[in-house]
Structure 1
């Protein structure tokens, strides 16, 4: 089947290109810097995203004939790739990266890629109308940064991205969207070839050129892929990206409560907290596993909407419990556990009063 070629060809190209990028990193001295937040040791290349980008572009040239929307996606993704590459080479400030994220979003809007509406469960629809431009910019920048923020452990950002892209591609097959199938599978194959070298212990990192490119591409593909869908539209990408989205929002709240700048990095991300308890490799497996479960719940939703919806709620419930138990946002943030303790106290008091009445 042609769909398998979309995965296999970019995978093989990436498998060959990644070692070449590693070799180039020696004379170019493009190594990840060690500091108090890093978990690696030694000189490891941080421009692995070059292999992902080149594999994707070569495969797209082989298989795809770009229409207006796909041209916009490629241009927007390329802007983020080169922004990330410059950051990997000389380090640029967060406001500069945000500026180019907005530029990439404006390019997508110019080519007709924007969020018009969101269809929610139970037939609810949100029509954005005039604010669709603003929401599209927030969506592109938000998802791009979310994928970038989870790139903290070997294989984490790449592994989660592959799962997300494969799920999007599979649902696009059901929705009969061959353009999205090819885009998602080609990018998944390109990332998976790199992931062979990036899995723990990694011999190369994707860097900002990889994570910003993947984030912008996933956000753009999700807009085009589910713009006219009758199933979930953007609710599906939100579901698949719920882990990095929650991690990003938690980081914003945590740093705000501590009086820190949002751009000021820390070691309280979800993957850092999990790693303290489960170790490096198991943390990646757990987070990728949860992403896969959210993807599976989307399929369940397509078969049985009520069952799928409650499956999603159950997964979100467990994620929320972990956030509260780990004090990921704040030691004082525990709405569910606090509610449970209050109910428990009231219940215990009632039982005690009944015993005294007797």
Structure 2
């Protein structure tokens, strides 16, 4: 069951380690670069993820009971962490980062972390068989990059990951997956200690070593947590991670329509659009709140599938309306709004007859 002393140790560990890493980054001159898409000013450390990683590894080695799959997750996560750290220090080429992400995902898959059967609402089960490896690879790499892309505001990526991990850990209790529960809670506590310094205005950033590591860990833990579930396997992780998934898919569509490369940065992410209207701190709160609501709808689904499904549809409908009205993908992308205008025009035409 839950051992609070180890969770507290993880929190205190990152709380103590983060300022030490900050001092080390000053010596190494590992500062976040300023460009047209950044929102920070001045010299701020970009390797805060080191504190999260070290705390998690130390506490896990002392406390967690590991099996083959968890060893694979930690090993793959370590590959992802060091890849991100190298990128923070010397800037890796996008293709090299993608290759390392695939290698890390391959390690996790080799150790037994995979999606074999997809259970969807209404009792639908899909055995993906030979496509299991490819499907799992796309999921891990996709979520890893989604968390990396959303790391654009103080405390945002860390806050979202903490909420996601708390939801997965809580569901682990319901599913009696105490290994997943402890893994999620220890990692979440390690992030919380770092967030004390990363909350707006941040004095240190997690960098790619943090966001890539957390993205990888969240993607693999979510697969492990629901692999044996009789309710849904992939649908619940998708729901819980809906905010970074929507942001990433929107970025892909937006850049494709503009003829840009996927890795080409812009300032049209969900958090950029919200920040223009609500400010920095409020945007982080809104996005973390949205993640919590999607997680809550997952819990509702577990208790009552019909009500939960309706809640999911309402939330997705609201998000789609925001995407269309904000021009997040394109000013010409508005299928729902066009449909609504068409229905309204039809009713007006009928009234005039």
Please, what TM-score do these two structures have when normalized by structure 1?
0.97
CA RMSD of aligned residues (A): 0.9
Is the 8 Å Cα contact of residues 65 and 179 (structure 2) preserved in structure 1?
Answer: no
Other-structure match for 2:99: 99
Other-structure match for 2:53: 53
Other-structure match for 1:253: 253
Q: List per-residue Cα deviations over 1:216-259 (Å, max 9, x = no partner).
A: 00111111111111122121110011111111111111111111
Tell me, yes or no, if structure 1 residue 64 matches structure 2 residue 79: no
Q: What pairs up with 1:25-44 in 2 under 5 angstroms?
A: 25-44=25-44
Other-structure match for 2:223: 223
Deviation at 1:132, TM superposition (A): 0.4
- Name the CA distance, whole Å, in 1 between partners of 2:3 and 2:150: 28
Q: List per-residue Cα deviations over 1:89-113 (Å, max 9, x = no partner).
A: 0001111111011101111111111
- Name the CA distance, whole Å, in 2 between partners of 1:313 and 1:235: 13
Please, what TM-score do these two structures have when normalized by structure 2?
0.99
Other-structure match for 1:90: 90
Moved over 3 A (4+): none
- Name the CA distance, whole Å, in 1 between partners of 2:20 and 2:130: 47
Other-structure match for 1:115: 115
Is the 8 Å Cα contact of residues 140 and 219 (structure 2) preserved in structure 1?
Answer: yes
Other-structure match for 1:262: 262
Other-structure match for 1:138: 138
Deviation at 1:6, TM superposition (A): 4.2
- Name the CA distance, whole Å, in 2 between partners of 1:294 and 1:283: 17
- Name the CA distance, whole Å, in 1 between partners of 2:229 and 2:303: 15
Other-structure match for 1:323: 323
Q: What pairs up with 1:237-252 in 2 under 5 angstroms?
A: 237-252=237-252
Other-structure match for 1:232: 232
Deviation at 1:5, TM superposition (A): 3.2
Deviation at 1:65, TM superposition (A): 2.7
Q: What count of residue pairs does the alignment treat as equivalent?
A: 353
Other-structure match for 1:213: 213
SS at match of 1:232: coil
Deviation at 1:2, TM superposition (A): 3.2
Deviation at 1:127, TM superposition (A): 1.2
Gaps of 5+ in 2: none
Deviation at 1:350, TM superposition (A): 0.6
Deviation at 1:9, TM superposition (A): 1.6
Q: List per-residue Cα deviations over 1:113-146 (Å, max 9, x = no partner).
A: 1110111111011211001010011011000000
Is the 8 Å Cα contact of residues 6 and 182 (structure 1) preserved in structure 2?
Answer: no
Other-structure match for 2:200: 200
Is the 8 Å Cα contact of residues 6 and 189 (structure 1) preserved in structure 2?
Answer: no
Deviation at 1:7, TM superposition (A): 2.7
